[in-house]
Structure 1
Amino acid sequence: MPAIPVDLARNLVLAHFPQARAAWLGGSVALGTPTATSDLDITVLLAGPPAPYRESLNHEGWPVELFVQTEESVAHFRAAERVARRPATARLIGQSCILLDVDGSGEHLQEDCARELSEGPESLSEKELRAMRYEVTDLLDDLAGSHDANERLAIGVALWQATARLLLTANRRWLGGGKWLQRELVAFDQVGSTDFGRSLADGMRAIALGDVDPMTAVVIEVLDQVGGRLFEGFRASGPA
């Protein structure tokens, strides 16, 4: 990892949070996959006030995302994100470079978050799986029935996301947003020697050129792995 971003991040923490118990540099920079627009994702652990917050700023030419936390707020966000299967906090800490560790909490939380990431999310319930199969089936039918090019693109984006979520969660893999969803697909492919990340992206490119067949084929392949299409017989109960 380049030394300069790490040193900049550490100096920022020392200057602005002298009372910090620990701090981590996460995100693309820590993973060694930065782009020209990557920022420094810095999580800071405090013993108490101020209340947890997130702040965006610029520091010596770098955009910075600050996540100021306490142990209680870390636990709160990790629990909520486990339910959503999008472990943003666990990623920022578990896949990080430790910038500061005054009392051992930096290493302890890093190891705990890394363990959570490696264990994966809970299995989908049958109710969740049926709802996701229905969503993908419905979008697939919308794609097949649409004769408007712009509409097909919009449906294709939603179908790509829904299919990726179904594939990953059905296999007890974590989700992500934006580029992170694609990165999770790529990681899944690397483990299982599959090619869904490329196939779904190629399906989107084909939709843009007026051909829905490649996307249809890969979506059906995913559906067949989890029980097939689902429309007739699907029922979702409302609130009591």
Structure 2
Amino acid sequence: MNDHETPQAEALRLVQARFPHALGALLGGSAAHGRATPTSDLDVAILLPDSDSGSDTSRREVVRHGGRLAELFLNTLAGVPEFFAWDRARRRGTVLFLYDQGVPLTDPFGHVARTRQLAREVLASGPPPLTEAEREHGRYVLTCFMDDLIDTPASDRYEQLALADHALSKAVHLLTAHHNAWTGIGKWLPRRLLDADPVRGKALLDGQLAVAERADPGPLTAAVEEVLGLLGGPLREGYAHAWSP
């Protein structure tokens, strides 16, 4: 890797070397917006031609190129709509956002531009709403985490921290769904949460910090109870869930 090479130039060189037959590509993530660190990987979406032989398939692949890790999101052109529908169903839209916010690297036939437009249309439709059964199950599980967190002594730090993480994750899932907003995992969890609900989202994140830094579950349980209040309150007795084989 050339120390003076931009992430865009580096990513384009990767595409040209490994996928010379690609129909187009773009760079996403922190590298596309000037926030990359020396150890940041490259997130590259690559459109591949449809192949009768099946030699090109939609997949996720991690490679090392020029000393830097790169995470490749490869899709055949015909497979894009189905893949975008799957990405939407997860309610995270990982690759949808990559196409929406990424920087085109090469687009000789206009396929990247059309795929970006499709991604934006899917994103504008929002994630699918939770079914009633999904919402009630989430409400019950979050109530259980909240109750366990309240009952866990501060001396049981491993259990307290594990419960706080699970309570935060479940609360984010329900709160973003309540706002018909996209959710996320890892570093995207707080970002998507604060986008969806800055006030309640900050209360949840501050609550998790209070558990981590002071072994105090009070702020997090209060924030969780407020989220539950949007959905009808805590759910304990009366909840029923049929087993599915």
Inter-partner Cα distance in structure 1 for 2:34 and 2:84: 24
- Listed one character per residue, the Cα deviations across residues 36-75 of structure 1 (whole Å, up to 9, x for unaligned) are 5421111111113322332222333432111222023333
Report the alpha carbon displacement of residue 124 of structure 1 after superposing the two structures with TM: 2.1
Q: What is the rounded CA distance, in whole Å, between the counterparts of 1:213 and 1:89 in structure 2?
A: 37
| Alpha-carbon distance in 2 for matches of 1:111, 1:29 | 22
Aligned-residue sequence identity (percent) comes to 37
| Structure number with higher helix proportion | 1
State the Cα distance separating 1:123 from its structure 2 match: 2.1
Partner of 1:95: 101
Equivalent residues, number: 235
How many Å separate the matches in 1 of 2:125 and 2:157?
42
Alignment of 1:219-238 (within 5 A): 219-238=224-243
With normalisation by structure 1, the TM-score equals 0.90
**Pair 1:182-2:187 in alignment:** no
Give the letter aligned to residue 195 of structure 1: V
Q: 2:85 aligns with which of 57, 79, 88?
A: 79
Equivalent position amino acid for 1:163 in 2: A
User: Would you say the 8 A contact 2:39–2:68 is kept in 1?
Assistant: no
Tell me which moved more, 25-34 or 144-153: 25-34
Q: CA deviation at 1:10?
A: 1.3
1:161–1:31 CA distance, 2 compared to 1 (3 A): farther
Q: Secondary structure of 1:198's match? A: helix
**Correspondence for 1:171 among 175, 179, 183:** 179
Deviation per residue, 1:99-124 (Å, 9 max, x gap): 11122111000111022223211222
Q: Deviations over 1:172-230 (max 9, x none)?
A: 111211111111012224xxxx3233322221221132211110111111111121111
* In structure 2, C-alpha distance between the alignment counterparts of 1:15 and 1:230, rounded to whole Å: 55
More displaced stretch, 63-72 vs 162-171: 63-72
Query: Tell me, what secondary structure is at the counterpart of 2:69?
Result: strand
What amino acid is the match of 1:235? A
- TM-score where L is the length of structure 2: 0.88
The runs of 5 or more residues in structure 2 that have no matched partner are none
Equivalent position of 1:41 in the other structure: 43
CA RMSD of aligned residues (A): 2.0
The answer (yes or no) to whether the contact 1:31–1:95 under 8 Å persists in 2 is no
- Provide structure 1 residue ranges, at least 5 long, that are not aligned to the other structure: none
Contact 2:183–2:192 (Cα < 8 Å) also in 1? yes
